[in-house]
Amino acid sequence: MSTLSLRLPDSLHQKVRELAAQDDISINQFIATAVAEKMSALVTLDYLAERAARGSRAAFERVLRNVPDRPPIPGDEWEPSEAVEPPNKRLPPTKARRQRKTRRTKK
């Protein structure tokens, strides 16, 4: 395990102290958990972006053609007015992901 010196604004430190006390954990454990959650979110975004890049619309449609045409199970209906076409855009990369990508390409 390593040690990290961290400077926080007083207001943030106070809120972290309060939230850690509410969960009956140490400030150290609270911050370690928060960092782990953020890392998990970033890694998941990278994984999903990489996985989406490997996707094939043609393969997806080929699989869907094998699905039998049946009415939905009761309670699983989808009203046409609810049907919304998802945007086909990727979100811009976060600053941290751009920096990681830059570091990888410089090696």
List pLDDT tens digits, range 17-42.
999 999 999 999 999 999 999 999 98
Q: Which amino acid is at 41?
A: A
Residue that the structure tokens 């040690």 belong to:
3
Q: Which amino acid is at 46?
A: D
pLDDT above 90 covers what percent of the chain? 44
Q: Helices 10-22 and 27-54 meet at what angle, rounded to 10? A: 90
Flag whether pLDDT at 83 surpasses 60. no
- How many helices and strands, by DSSP H and E, does the chain display? 4, 0
Q: What is the pTM of this model?
A: 0.49
Mean pLDDT over the full length of the chain: 84
What pLDDT band is residue 106 in, cutting at 50, 70 and 90?
low
Q: Which amino acid is at 35?
A: V
What pLDDT band is residue 88 in, cutting at 50, 70 and 90?
low
CB 46 within 8 A of CB 97: yes
CB 27 within 8 A of CB 20: yes
Q: Which amino acid is at 43?
A: V
